[in-house]
Structure formats: structure tokens, C-alpha cells
């Protein structure tokens, strides 16, 4: 175990201080008396910890050591006692004080524990937390499974191996999975390495904890180094395309024009590139036939129309949801057990497998191999059932498609250097605006996103925000709702079935950076710039007004102080409230910030001094190395980026094939 019994006991006490027993407000003792430590916390904590870098564990142990000392009292102006000797009321007061502390590391510790306690508690299976699911009206989707699941042949090494191939692809998401299909279909000898597991339709389920820990990077606990942004990234065969919410947008012409002018990418309006765009839209079956509105998407649509805005139906890469009995599923983020989602797993990787590609899952590449200025392959390790096998791959060409966090990390720990490598990390920073309605919403049912409101995408040139919806399963809503006390948080959670959840995504102009620690692990540095925060605040205000126009009774803002606004407030009162928002503290960990889109850390452009990747997708300083994922986008596109990544990657793979 990574933690001692004493540390586990302390962690359980901390979790109970966030999700613990309180006096019943309505006679339902089973709900109000529930606590985190009634679950198998030890196993959950160890599962998550095993996916985290060593430094994260070290930092957490330091905080636990502080909690075990009498000197803890110094850090919250309380009695000189260790945490386990404090009364429940004192524990709650300590946490609340840390949430608003002027010391950044205390706010970080509060948020780490808050997210851990809430997600582990509320994402548990129905068998573990029946009383909670019953209280909030949470139900799973159909037990049906696709009658035609993917059948991909994956390879497992019984010993250390040296493997030769024409093309090595590292990563299997929007770029890598597409590359595998294109190259294998063209007759190339392809090896595809994916650090995550292979799970198909028969293995997907509706257990939030189970799927997040199996399908997401670092078991869903990936975050920036200061804890301020929770980063959702797929880590499984198919990558982000296996777990995303299916929004399929073409890159807007205004963004293509920006990329063409500012990044010297004149090919973006050429026939060849536009053919790549059309090809991927056809290949992944993008359509609007399956974009029916569930109640919260309908609320976003209706409220926007009443506000005089112009909502649009989102095209999605899904087929036959209704035909297959999954029109009310809403579990797309846990993989698609109905086989409706047209991910790379179900399309191009399946095709690659059928055409002879050798696919290794649970295989993480430690570094690329080089000779002079040429990449010759990679060294990695496959982990199966606790056993580790070394894989040494010799390749004529290498395509790196690990995503915008791990692509620069791999290149950096391989000794590759470029002044801009790892820089320009864009997030489309995202905040949630929850609202309580009198009518039933059940935001976990139906298409996760089918409505988009993008009227404010050009507040300042090409920069602004747009509004969509997000699926609200218990773990996510528990982690997203502000926490000021156990009672308040549990009370808010009871509104889950009447909750409408809008998200505000900002096209960020100012980015962050990915570096590596002493062990070669990716370290994410990102702080939302005041320029982008200003757009985000405007988006929160508009989302609030859309909620009210759609009939919401109360809006809850994503601030740690739990700011709310009632529909009884008149226009003057709401205007005054919105004006005050800029004076709220917006320090790191003062508000709940997410990213499901990571981009541009190895950006493509015509100037090799400022762009690590050439317009044809090749890395500027090394031969036979290509980048084909979101890290190669010149900047963030200001829309859900899957199709932008695919179009650019398709064009890159065509260039590779033309070079043979």
C-alpha cells in the first residue's frame, strides 16, 4: 500500500468531515446520516494514488503529517490538537477557513480533499450508496449492450521484446486512432501503443467510479500543479473519443483565417485540407439526427430564445441511438455500451486491427530513441497483472499522439528541445452554472449535449465564450457544487434530479505550460488570466439569465463561497449582483474550474523558431517524427476540438503517405 493504516484512518476522517452525518432535515435518516467512511475508501484511495506521480503522493503525505500534529491549530487559529481530536464542528470550521485562506497551499489542500471526498462518496455504485441514489432520484440507463461490439486484437508480451515496424503510433485518440486506421488500410506495417486499457461495449457500464478510474487519465484525478483546474482526459483505447460527449464541430472559418495569417498555415483553405475535413466528418458519421434535446438541453434552448439569442443544434458522431434503445442513455462519458458512438475505437482502430496493425494496450512509452537528428523508435513498458515487460520498438517513422499533456512530456524526457515545446497550453477553461428548477430535469438522462449558444464568441476579436450543457452524475455534481458545510452540501445534492447544468467555456487567449518533473512525469502549470476570466464571468452572468428565462428558481455559481441568486430578484437586483461578481476573490482554488480540452503545446506553424511542428505535421528538428493530436493545433479553436484535431491529423497522415 502507498499509505499506512494511520494515514488511511486520517484520510477517512477528513473525508467524513466533508461527507458525514448531520441532523436529518426531513426524516430520511439513511441519507443524512450517510458518511464517506462507510464506503471502501481504502481501496478507492489506493486505486487513485497508484495512478498519480510520486511527487503528488509525497505532497499529500506532508499534508497528512500536518493533520496528525498538534501544531495543526496554528494553521486555522484553532485549538492545538491533531485533526482526529477535533470535534465535528471544529473540523468543519477548519476546512471552511482553509477554503478562503490567503495561503494558496491551504486552499489547494482544501480543494484536493473536497474533490476526493465528494467524488469517491457520490460516484460509488448503487449497491454501495442506495440511500443516496434513492434520495436524489438517480437511475442507471438500460442494461442493454451492443449486439455488435468491437473485436480488436490486442497483444500482450510474455517477455521483453524488440519489435520492428514501418510506423509506430503512440496514443490512440482522435489523432492516433485515426492515423492507425489510415496507415494500416494503406498497407503499412503499424504498431500502436496505448498506455490505457482496452475496454469494449461489453465492458462499459453505468458505474461512475468504475468507468472514470478505468477510462480517464490518472483515474480522473489529473489536475494542474496548484490544484486549480481539474483536467479530464481519456486514457484508454480510443482516448478522448471513447469518453467524450460527441460534440462534432467544424473549425470556424474565422479561426482558420486566424491560423492561416498568424501561424503561416496557408494550406487550411486549400482543396487538399478541405477534403480532409469532409473525409473525417463522413468517416465518423457526424450528423444531427441523434441530437434530440433532453430536458436541460431544452432549457438552454428555450432560455436562449427568450433572451433573443441564437441557439444551435450540435452535430454529433453517433448513430442509431433510438434504434438501438439508447436515446435516453446519457452515459456517453463512460464509453458507449450501445455501440452508437463513432469513436476511433469503433471505427479506425477496429479497421486497423482488421488490417494487421499490432496493438499494445497498457503500454506506456518512456522515451523515444534517436540517432543524430533522426527518431528511430521508442522504448516503453507494458504492464499486465502486475508484471512489467519492456518493449523496444524500431520504426521508420514515429507518430506521437499522446495528447497535449503527454506529447510534450514524452518529447522532453526523450531529450528533444524546442523553445516553445510544452508552452501555449490552452484549456477552454470551463465553469458550471447549476440551477434548481421546479420540474424534473434528471440531467444524467438523454444526449449529454445537443444545444450550443455561441453568440458571445467574438466579444473581443475571436475571443469570448460559449454555453453548452454537461451531464450531471452524482460524483461530478458532488465535486462541482460549492461546499461550505456538510449540511449545506447534502441539502444542495438533494436537488440533483431538478438540476439544470450549463457550462461556460472560454476561448483562452493566454495559455499555460507543460513541463516534466525529475521522474519525467508531466507537470501542468496553468492560471487563468484576468482577460480570460473577464469573459468567463460574463458567460456565467449570461448562463444565469438563460436559466431564469427558462424558469429556474435559483442559480448557484461555482464560487467556493456558494453565491446564489433567486428568481425573485428583479432586474435591478440582478444587475447589482452581476456588478459585484468582479469584486469576488477569483484566486486559484477560489472557484471550481475544469478543462476537457487540452491543446497547442506542440503547435503547428510556418515559423520553425516559434512552432515545433511544420505545416506538414513533422517535428522541426528531427526527421521521421510527426505530431498528430491536439497539441499540434496552432491555438484553441473556440469549439469542442475533436473534429479540428481529426482534420489536421488526417492532413498530416496524407502527407506521410505521400512521402512513401
pLDDT of residue 140: 77
Predicted confidence (pLDDT) at residue 441 exceeds the cutoff of 70? yes
Predicted confidence (pLDDT) at residue 142 exceeds the cutoff of 70? no
Average pLDDT on 443-472 reads 95
Predicted confidence (pLDDT) at residue 656 exceeds the cutoff of 90? yes
Cα separations in angstroms, 488 against 18, 37, 502: 11, 19, 21
- Residue 272 domain flag: no
- For 519, the domain range is 5-140+427-595
- Residue 614 domain flag: no
Eight-state DSSP code of residue 510: S
Tell me the three cell numbers of residue 233. 482526459
Strand partners, 452: 312
CA separation for the pair 349, 185 (Å, rounded): 10
Predicted confidence (pLDDT) at residue 364 exceeds the cutoff of 80? yes
Predicted model pTM: 0.96
- Residue 648 domain flag: no
Average pLDDT on 476-498 reads 96
CA separation for the pair 524, 214 (Å, rounded): 22
Using CA atoms of 257, 261, 262, 267 in order, give the dihedral in degrees to the nearest 10.
Answer: 80
Check if the beta carbon of residue 234 is closer than 8 Å to that of residue 241. yes
- Residue 372 domain flag: no
CA separation for the pair 57, 62 (Å, rounded): 9
The count of structural domains within the chain is 1
- Residue 212 domain flag: no
User: Which residue is associated with the grid cell 460527449?
Assistant: 245
Predicted confidence (pLDDT) at residue 591 exceeds the cutoff of 80? yes
Predicted confidence (pLDDT) at residue 652 exceeds the cutoff of 80? yes
Predicted confidence (pLDDT) at residue 579 exceeds the cutoff of 90? yes
With CA atoms as reference, report the closest residue to 352 among 568, 182, 118.
182
Percent of the chain with pLDDT over 90: 94
Average pLDDT on 531-558 reads 98
Average pLDDT on 276-283 reads 98
Predicted confidence (pLDDT) at residue 456 exceeds the cutoff of 70? yes
Residue 323 banded pLDDT, cuts 50, 70, 90: confident
Provide the mean pLDDT of the chain: 96
3-19: per-residue pLDDT in tens? Answer: 999 999 999 999 999 99
Residue 328 banded pLDDT, cuts 50, 70, 90: confident
Which residues of 578-655 form beta strands (DSSP E)?
593-595, 625-627
Check if the beta carbon of residue 449 is closer than 8 Å to that of residue 470. yes
Residue 494 banded pLDDT, cuts 50, 70, 90: very high
The string of DSSP letters for 398-437 reads: EEE-SHHHHHHHHHHHTT---TTTTEEEB---EEEEEEE-
CA separation for the pair 284, 281 (Å, rounded): 6
User: Which residue is associated with the grid cell 449497491?
Assistant: 127
61-94: per-residue pLDDT in tens? Answer: 999 999 999 999 999 999 999 999 999 999 999 9
CA separation for the pair 519, 375 (Å, rounded): 22
Task: Give the other-Cβ count within 10 Å of 27's Cβ.
Answer: 7
- Residue 136 domain flag: yes
Check if the beta carbon of residue 356 is closer than 8 Å to that of residue 604. no
- Residue 330 domain flag: no
Predicted confidence (pLDDT) at residue 177 exceeds the cutoff of 90? yes
What are the phi and psi torsion angles at 595 (to 5°)?
Answer: -145, 130
Average pLDDT on 466-477 reads 94
- Residue 234 domain flag: no
Predicted confidence (pLDDT) at residue 210 exceeds the cutoff of 90? yes
Beta strands 512-516 and 499-506, pairing class: unpaired
Amino acid at each position: 500500500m502507498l499509505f499506512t493504516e494511520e494515514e488511511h484512518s486520517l484520510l477517512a476522517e477528513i473525508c467524513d468531515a466533508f461527507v458525514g452525518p448531520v441532523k436529518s432535515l426531513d426524516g430520511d435518516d439513511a441519507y443524512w446520516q450517510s458518511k464517506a467512511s462507510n464506503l471502501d475508501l481504502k481501496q478507492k484511495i489506493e486505486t487513485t494514488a497508484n495512478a498519480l506521480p510520486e511527487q503528488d503522493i509525497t505532497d499529500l503525505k506532508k499534508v497528512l503529517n500536518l493533520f496528525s500534529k498538534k501544531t495543526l491549530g496554528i494553521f486555522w487559529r484553532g485549538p492545538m490538537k491533531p485533526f482526529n481530536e477535533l470535534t465535528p464542528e471544529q473540523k468543519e470550521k477548519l476546512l471552511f477557513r482553509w477554503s478562503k485562506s490567503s495561503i494558496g497551499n491551504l486552499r489547494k489542500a482544501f480543494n484536493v480533499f473536497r474533490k476526493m471526498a465528494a467524488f469517491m462518496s457520490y460516484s460509488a455504485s448503487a449497491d454501495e450508496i442506495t440511500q443516496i441514489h434513492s434520495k436524489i432520484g438517480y437511475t442507471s440507463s438500460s442494461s442493454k449492450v451492443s449486439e455488435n461490439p468491437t473485436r480488436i486484437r490486442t497483444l500482450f508480451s510474455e517477455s521483453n521484446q524488440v519489435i520492428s515496424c514501418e510506423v509506430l503510433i503512440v496514443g490512440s485518440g482522435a489523432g492516433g486512432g485515426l492515423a492507425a486506421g489510415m496507415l494500416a488500410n494503406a498497407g503499412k506495417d503499424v504498431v500502436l501503443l496505448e498506455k490505457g486499457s482496452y475496454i469494449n461495449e461489453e465492458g462499459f457500464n453505468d458505474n461512475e467510479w468504475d468507468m472514470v478510474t478505468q477510462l480517464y487519465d490518472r483515474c480522473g484525478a489529473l489536475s494542474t500543479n496548484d490544484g486549480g483546474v481539474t483536467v479530464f482526459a481519456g486514457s484508454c483505447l480510443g482516448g478522448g473519443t471513447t469518453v467524450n460527449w460527441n460534440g462534432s464541430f467544424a473549425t470556424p472559418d474565422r479561426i482558420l483565417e486566424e491560423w492561416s495569417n498568424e501561424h503561416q498555415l496557408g494550406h487550411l483553405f486549400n482543396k487538399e485540407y478541405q477534403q480532409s475535413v469532409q473525409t473525417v466528418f463522413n468517416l465518423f458519421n457526424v450528423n444531427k439526427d441523434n441530437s434530440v434535446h433532453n430536458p436541460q438541453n431544452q432549457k438552454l434552448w428555450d432560455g436562449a430564445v427568450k433572451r433573443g439569442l441564437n441557439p444551435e443544434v450540435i452535430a454529433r458522431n453517433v448513430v442509431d441511438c433510438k434504434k438501438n434503445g439508447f436515446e435516453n442513455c446519457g452515459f456517453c462519458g463512460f464509453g458507449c455500451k450501445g455501440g452508437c458512438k463513432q469513436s476511433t475505437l469503433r471505427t479506425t482502430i477496429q479497421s486497423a486491427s482488421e488490417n494487421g496493425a499490432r496493438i499494445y494496450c497498457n503500454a506506456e512509452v518512456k522515451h523515444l530513441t534517436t540517432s543524430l537528428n533522426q527518431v528511430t523508435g521508442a522504448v516503453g513498458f507494458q504492464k499486465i497483472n502486475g508484471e512489467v515487460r519492456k518493449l523496444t520498438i524500431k520504426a521508420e517513422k514515429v507518430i506521437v499522439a499522446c495528447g497535449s499533456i503527454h506529447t510534450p512530456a514524452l518529447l522532453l524526457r526523450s531529450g528533444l528541445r524546442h523553445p516553445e515545446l510544452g508552452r501555449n497550453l490552452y484549456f477552454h477553461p470551463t465553469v458550471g452554472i447549476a440551477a434548481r428548477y421546479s420540474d424534473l430535469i434528471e440531467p444524467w438522462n438523454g444526449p449529454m449535449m445537443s444545444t450550443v449558444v455561441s453568440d458571445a464568441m467574438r466579444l473581443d476579436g475571436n475571443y469570448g465564450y460559449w454555453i453548452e450543457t454537461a451531464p450531471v452524475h452524482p460524483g461530478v455534481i458532488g465535486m462541482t457544487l460549492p461546499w461550505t458545510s456538510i449540511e449545506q452540501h447534502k441539502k444542495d445534492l438533494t436537488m440533483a434530479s431538478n438540476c439544470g447544468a450549463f457550462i461556460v467555456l472560454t476561448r483562452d487567449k493566454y495559455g499555460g505550460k507543460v513541463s516534466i518533473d525529475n521522474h519525467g512525469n508531466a507537470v501542468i502549470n496553468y492560471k487563468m488570466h484576468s482577460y480570460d476570466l473577464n469573459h468567463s464571468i460574463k458567460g456565467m452572468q449570461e448562463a444565469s439569465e438563460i436559466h431564469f428565462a427558462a424558469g429556474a428558481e435559483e442559480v448557484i455559481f461555482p464560487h467556493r463561497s456558494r453565491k446564489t441568486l433567486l428568481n425573485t430578484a428583479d432586474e435591478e437586483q440582478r444587475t447589482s449582483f452581476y456588478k459585484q461578481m468582479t469584486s469576488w476573490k477569483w484566486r486559484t482554488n477560489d472557484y471550481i474550474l475544469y478543462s476537457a480540452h487540452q491543446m497547442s503545446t506542440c503547435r503547428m506553424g510556418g515559423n520553425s523558431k516559434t512552432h515545433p511542428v511544420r505545416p506538414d505535421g513533422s517535428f522541426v528538428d528531427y526527421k521521421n517524427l510527426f505530431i498528430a493530436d491536439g497539441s499540434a493545433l496552432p491555438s484553441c479553436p473556440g469549439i469542442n476540438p475533436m473534429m479540428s484535431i481529426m482534420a489536421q491529423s488526417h492532413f498530416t497522415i496524407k502527407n506521410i503517405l505521400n512521402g512513401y
